[in-house]
Amino acid sequence: MASVQARKLLWETATVVAIETHTPTVKSFFFRFAQPVSFIAGQHMDVRLTAPDGYEAQRSYSIASAPETTDRLELAIERLHDGEVSPFFHDVVTAGDEIELRGPIGGHFVWTVETGGPLLLVGGGSGVVPLMCILRHRAACSSRVPMALIYSARTTADLIFGDELHGLHARGDGFHFVPTITREANPPRGLRAGRIDAPLLTSTLALLPAPPRIVFVCGTNAFVETAADLLLGLGVPAPVIRTERYGG
C-alpha cells in the first residue's frame, strides 16, 4: 500500500470550483488546489474557517472523490443545525471562494484495489461518503473485487449519491447496493424499510463469494456501535471490522 501521509500536514488555500446539492441537507463542494492532492480512498481533510475577529473553527470531512480524480477534490458536507462550519458552507460559500484545508489524513479506514476483498461496507447517513470514495476508486480501476454496501438513510430523499450507487449496482461487476430506509413505511420499489438488523446483515453477507476481508462501518456513534455489535454477534472477527464515527 502506498504511504497514506504523502505530504506534510500544512494548511493550504483551495478554491471552490463547483457546488452540487445531493439532498435537502447535503451538498458536495469541489476544491482545486495549486497542486493536485494525492490520497488513499477513505481518508479525510480538515477544514478551517477564520472569522474577522480571529476566531477559528475546524472540522473534518471525508473525501468523496476517487483518488484517480486529480483535477479537483470533493467533500460532501451535511448541514448540522447546531454546527459552526456546515451552515457556513451551505448558506455562504459560493464558487470562487477560497477555503483553508489540510490533509489528507487517516491510515486505518482506507482501502486500495491492491488490498483486495471481499468487502462489506455499512454506512449510515453521511457516513456513506468515505465508502463512496472506496467504490469510486474501485470503479476507476475497473476492479471486480466483490463488494456489498448496506446504506441506511432516513428517507428516500436522504440517499446521498443514490442514483450513482444504483448505477454501479446495475453494472453487474460484483458490487451489490442494499439501501434501507428508516423513516418511510412504504419506500419505493427496490428500497427496504427498516433499520439495519441481523437478518439484513446476514442476507447481505451471503451476496459475497467469501467472508469479508474487511468490513468498513461509518456513521454516528450509535449507528456504528449497533452495526459493529450485530456483526460481532454474527461471527465476524473483530480485527476485520474497521469503524469511523461522526458526531451525534
3-state secondary structure at position 107:
coil
**Is 50 exceeded by the pLDDT of residue 68?**
yes
The CATH number of whichever domain residue 206 belongs to comes to 3.40.50.80
Q: Is residue 7 part of a domain?
A: no
- Tell me: pLDDT of 30 over 80: yes
163: number of Cβ within 10 Å: 9
Indicate whether 72 and 124 sit together in one domain: no
CA 41 to chain centre: 9
Domain end call among 55, 89, 105: 105
Residue 4 located in a structural domain = no
Same structural domain, 195 and 99:
no
Q: Does residue 121 sit in the same domain as residue 92?
A: no
Residue span of the structural domain in which 210 resides:
113-246
Q: For the residues 210-224, what does the mean pLDDT come to?
A: 97
Together in a domain, 214 and 232: yes
Helix, strand or coil for residue 137? helix
- Cα three-residue angle 19-78-176, rounded to 5 degrees: 90
**Residue 40 maps to which CATH number?**
2.40.30.10
Residues 187, 198: Cα–Cα separation, whole Å: 20
| Measured distance CA(104)–CA(9) in Å, rounded | 8
Q: Tell me whether residue 3 is in a domain.
A: no
Residue 247, pLDDT score? 62
More confident residue, 123 or 188: 123
pLDDT value at 43 more than 90: yes
Instruction: State pLDDT tens for residues 155-197.
Output: 999 999 999 999 999 999 999 999 999 998 788 887 888 999 9
Say what percent of the chain tops pLDDT 70. Answer: 96
What residues pair up with 61 in beta bridges, in sequence order?
Answer: 45
Asked if 160 and 232 sit in the same domain, the reply is yes
pLDDT in tens, 49-66: 998 888 999 999 999 999
- pLDDT (average), residues 190-206: 94
**What pLDDT was estimated at residue 202?**
98
Which of 46, 75, 105 is where one domain is finished? 105
Q: How confident is the model at residue 219 (pLDDT cuts 50, 70, 90)?
A: very high
Read off the pLDDT of each residue in 90-118 and give the average, rounded to a whole number. 96
Q: Residue 7: its pLDDT value, please?
A: 55
> What's the pLDDT at 4?
47
Per-residue pLDDT, 2: 44
pLDDT digits (tens, 9 = 90+) for 70-88: 899 999 999 998 888 999 9
C-beta pairs of 112-115 under 8 Å, 24+ apart in sequence:
112/1, 112/2, 112/40, 112/41, 112/137, 113/137, 113/138, 113/141, 113/143, 113/145, 114/1, 115/1, 115/213, 115/214
- pTM for the whole structure: 0.93
State the chain's mean pLDDT as an integer.
93
How many domains does the chain fold into? 2
- Same-domain pairing of 142 and 196: yes
pLDDT at residue 217 is higher than 80: yes
Whether the pLDDT of residue 39 is over 60: the answer is yes
